[in-house]
Amino acid sequence: METACKLTAQIEVRLLVRNEIIEQFFAGEARQLAEACREMSERFLRGGRLLAFGRGPYATDAQHVSVEFVHPVIVGKRALPALDLSMAFHRWLDAILRPDDIVMGFGPPEGDPEVVAALAMSHSRGAMTFALPGTEGSYALESATPDPFIHQELVEIFYHTLWETVHVFFEHRELGQDVGQSEFLYPFLGHKKQKTTDVVEDVAASIQLKVHDDTLLRKRLAQEQSEQIANTALAIRERLSQGGKLIIFGNGGSATDANDWALDCILPPTGYHPVPAISLSMEPANITALANDVGAEVIFLRQLIAQARPEDVAIGISTSGGSRNIVMALEEARKRGLLTIALLGCDGGEIYRRGLADFPIIIRSDYIPRIQEVQASAYHVIRETLEVLAHGEA
């Protein structure tokens, strides 16, 4: 009991510290970020593409930003061309880069020399470049923290904001008076055409409001669910001590979060102990074979049947709480005696109502980017807490 109470207090502090760093960063960057989005919209309209890459856990950011642009979460938004080139980014860029492209390189707070070199080459060939982090490029993000997990969470908010804001400029230029479904994101646009320079100022202010929404959700998580997160970490630790592993899965952006969580376990920051983990979302051959031959609802279930042992931990990530393939995998995990954990959005959905997770953690919002941003904080804090437990510091 004493350990759980101490962990709960530590977790609440860690979550609130994130808010301070994130709010301060975006207060200083909102105007420049809005300008960068305006240039991105111009490049997309000229036929440019978003080409993203990173290594290790930062490759999952490239996966995430790519799916956000190709498969937008707001119904009615058009798909914008984006690719994750992480597997062989130097060669791929050399082969396919065009001057109107937008190139985005992800790395740890201290930077990645290989990513920096690829961005420099891309800039020399006329591309717009985002160094995340870095000191040179069309947009160079100076890391606001040496903590790799907080850095990555800040970057996720950054590229979600890019996606939201690019659509505003894109539609403003093409549609004039009609801003379409972006109006609920940016109500100040209304139905009256504005000069693009005026839009930049208003968008910069709106970016800060969005970041504030994010920090309010994280504050609520800290106040209401720190104890649940602490107990989740303790339960995971018990299964790991029995020789178990984490089996993580999710769809779309949540798939990239599952991949990130697994990589954070096996390729941890300096000073951390590795934790056995796999992501079922990191298996494209299995996923596409099962989806094609049987159906998308079994893509995690069948893999779980093949991979799971009773001492394992099944972790489903779902912003809705009702994704059928997540529900079916968690049902099977419970039958097999696995510990079940779910990161959920909205009201927790079917997974919460049916009690399919021993430890549900719910981000109570109905807007997917904000849910995912705070879910990232939740699983990073769980990973941090597992390390505290490994060192016997709690």
On whether both 149 and 251 belong to a single domain, the answer is: no
> In this structure, is residue 8 part of a structural domain?
no
Distance between CA atoms of 340 and 333, rounded to whole angstroms? 7
> In this structure, is residue 35 part of a structural domain?
yes
Q: Which of 3-12, 184-193, 205-214, 221-230 has the lowest mean pLDDT?
A: 184-193
In contact, 109 and 135? CB cutoff 8 Å: no
> In this structure, is residue 3 part of a structural domain?
no
Among residues 213, 242, 265, the one where a domain terminates is 213
Count of structural domains, the chain: 2
pLDDT at residue 183, as a whole number: 47
Residue 10 burial (CB count, 10 A): 18
Among residues 213, 240, 262, the one where a domain terminates is 213
Residue 330: in which H helix or E strand, if any?
helix 324-335
Distance between CA atoms of 172 and 189, rounded to whole angstroms? 9
Residue 188 scores a pLDDT above 50 = no
Percent of the chain beyond pLDDT 90?
84
> In this structure, is residue 289 part of a structural domain?
yes
> In this structure, is residue 6 part of a structural domain?
no
Q: Find the CATH number of the domain harbouring 53.
A: 3.40.50.10490
On whether both 207 and 243 belong to a single domain, the answer is: no
Residue 384 scores a pLDDT above 80 = yes
On whether both 173 and 27 belong to a single domain, the answer is: yes
On whether both 209 and 228 belong to a single domain, the answer is: no
Orientation angle between helical segments 148-175 and 368-390, nearest 10 degrees: 170
pLDDT at residue 244, as a whole number: 98
Distance between CA atoms of 223 and 30, rounded to whole angstroms? 28
On whether both 75 and 100 belong to a single domain, the answer is: yes
Distance between CA atoms of 133 and 107, rounded to whole angstroms? 6
pLDDT tens-digit profile of 204-239? 988 999 999 999 999 999 999 999 999 999 999 999
On whether both 172 and 197 belong to a single domain, the answer is: yes
Distance between CA atoms of 320 and 360, rounded to whole angstroms? 13
Distance between CA atoms of 240 and 360, rounded to whole angstroms? 19
In contact, 329 and 308? CB cutoff 8 Å: no
> In this structure, is residue 202 part of a structural domain?
yes
> In this structure, is residue 143 part of a structural domain?
yes
On whether both 27 and 135 belong to a single domain, the answer is: yes
pLDDT at residue 15, as a whole number: 98
pLDDT tens-digit profile of 82-101? 999 999 999 999 999 999 99
pLDDT at residue 197, as a whole number: 60
On whether both 229 and 168 belong to a single domain, the answer is: no
On whether both 31 and 148 belong to a single domain, the answer is: yes
Q: Which of 15-24, 117-126, 343-352, 384-393 has the lowest mean pLDDT?
A: 384-393
Query: Which residue range(s) make up the domain with 49?
Result: 22-213
In contact, 51 and 104? CB cutoff 8 Å: yes
pLDDT at residue 200, as a whole number: 85
Average pLDDT in the chain: 92
On whether both 276 and 340 belong to a single domain, the answer is: yes
On whether both 182 and 301 belong to a single domain, the answer is: no
Among residues 171, 191, 213, the one where a domain terminates is 213
On whether both 131 and 197 belong to a single domain, the answer is: yes
> What is the average per-residue pLDDT within 166-176?
68
pLDDT at residue 391, as a whole number: 82
> In this structure, is residue 207 part of a structural domain?
yes
